[in-house]
Amino acid sequence: MKEAQAHIASILDLPAPEQIAFAPNTHEFVLRLLSCFPPGKRLRIVTTDSEFMSFSRQIARLEEEGLVEVVRVPTEPFATFTPRFTEAVRVKGNDLVFFSHVFFNSGLVVKDPGAIVSQAPEEAMVVVDGYHGFFAIPTSFRRLADRAFYLAGGYKYAQSGEGACFLSVPRGFSSRPLNTGWFAGFGALEAGDFSRVGFSNDGFRFMGATFDPAGLYRFNAVARMFATHGLTVAGVDDHVKTLQGLFLDGLGAKAEAAISPRDLIAPEDGLAGLGHFLTFRREDAGTIASRLASRNVIVDHRGDRLRFGFGMYQDAADVEALVTLL
């Protein structure tokens, strides 16, 4: 765990590795964060219409029972997202502000999360979901580390598979989650006072209980591999952006292709404002995905959105082959 904490702190430029807790999935952290609020309090939550299911499904279910009030700000149009979201965030009475660094259904990157975090009421909990940014988009969270939680995992870009999720906890955060496991008491066990449930004074107060740490071993192995071979997140990001540019240029030159650059969901600054996948809006997204699968090309689709992911293990020849198949 200490090695994984150190790698994560280095990648995200975090000042205190001991503030990082681990869990098998991000949903576990969502529940634990919600359990920090007083029982029975109807929470006012400000979020977007583009959060991943580990958060959005849970919040929708609580909303169905009248347990929370949810303000969902649309991410589109992208050009006005930050000012619109910031306006909703700064309202007094907000209990929880939750938004993604990179949105899963478009790839849009929030360029300056700090501009949003700084506007939240002092009493509000702020959580940044970094799942599609971690190990993909060069990120410094140092300036925000003592104000906002950062939630992510190594499933995708850190090549760690399942079970390697983490939460960066602001220093000095002292709430006592109702949802808690015995790992959260490690820092308090030696005191021997069991008259009250004790919590670690660092990020471990958000730990759960016994879990399979295999994902953390995989994550550490990947981080060591990067260091050994001189690989960096910034270098991989440059490589991916190059491949994405080749892909769009190739599509633009193929009028008969199944998709067109005109279908791309992107901000005004194009690839510079996107993460490591390109999302195309197509009513026949499912059909295209199925036809590509029959040709051994794996993409995914969610409703009318067709996503093409690019990674460090792909090269220009892969892009050319994909364009040809399209």
pLDDT in tens, 167-214: 999 999 999 999 999 999 986 666 666 678 999 999 999 999 999 999
The residue out of 205, 226, 247 marking a domain boundary is: 226
Mean pLDDT of 305-324: 96
Domain co-membership, 258 together with 206: no
- Average per-residue pLDDT in the chain? 95
Question: Does residue 271 register a pLDDT over 80?
Answer: yes
Q: Are 78 and 108 in contact (CB under 8 A)?
A: yes
Q: Which of 170, 201, 226 is the last residue of a domain?
A: 226
- Segment 299-321 shows an average pLDDT of 95
Q: Are residues 263 and 206 in the same domain?
A: no
Evaluate the CA torsion angle 114, 220, 131, 200 in order and state its sign: negative
Task: Say what the pLDDT of residue 156 is.
Answer: 86
Pair 127, 47 in one domain: yes
pLDDT of 236 above 70 = yes
Q: Under a CB-based contact definition with an 8 Å cutoff, are residues 149 and 169 in contact?
A: yes
Identify whether residues 69 and 172 lie together within a single domain: yes
Query: Contact, 145 vs 117, CB < 8 A?
Result: no
Residue range 119-133, pLDDT digits in tens:
999 999 999 999 999
CA–CA gap between residue 80 and residue 163 (Å, rounded)? 36
Share of the chain above pLDDT 90, in %: 95
At residue 117, the pLDDT reads 98
How many contiguous H segments (helices) and E segments (strands) does the chain have? 10, 10
87 with 165, same domain: the answer is yes
Number of domains in the chain: 2
CATH of the domain at 315: 3.90.1150.10
Measure the CA angle with vertex 114, ends 167 and 74; round to 5°: 85
pLDDT at 195: 73
Say what the pLDDT of residue 192 is.
62
CATH number, domain of 197, equals 3.40.640.10
Euclidean distance between CA atoms 31 and 124, whole angstroms: 17
Check whether residue 12 and residue 39 sit in a common domain.
Answer: yes
- The structure tokens 């999360």 sit at 113
Same domain, 190 and 248: no
Q: In degrees, to the nearest 5, what angle opens at C-alpha 139 toward C-alphas 108 and 147?
A: 95
Identify the pLDDT of residue 190. 66
Instruction: Please report where in the chains the tokens 């503030």 appear, as a residue.
Output: 19
Residue 205: other Cβ atoms inside 10 A? 26
When pLDDT is averaged across residues 4-25 and rounded to a whole number, the result is 98
| Cα–Cα distance, 180 to 41 (Å, whole number) | 19
Same domain, 213 and 290: no
Q: What is the reported pLDDT for 186?
A: 81
- Both 107 and 164 in one domain: the answer is yes
**What pLDDT is attached to residue 326?**
94
The 3-state DSSP class for residue 8 equals helix
Judge if 242 and 268 occupy the same domain: yes
What pTM does this model have? 0.95
pLDDT at 72 over 70: yes
Q: How distant is the alpha carbon of residue 296 from its chain centre? A: 28
Rounded Cα distance between 44 and 292, Å, is: 43
Same domain membership, residue 63 and residue 132: yes
**Domain boundary, last residue among 226, 241, 262:** 226
Per the structure, the complete domain to which residue 161 belongs is given by 2-226
pLDDT at 143 over 80: yes
| In a shared domain, residues 164 and 187 | yes
Interacting residues of 121 by C-beta distance below 8 A, sequence separation 6+: 90, 91, 92, 93, 94
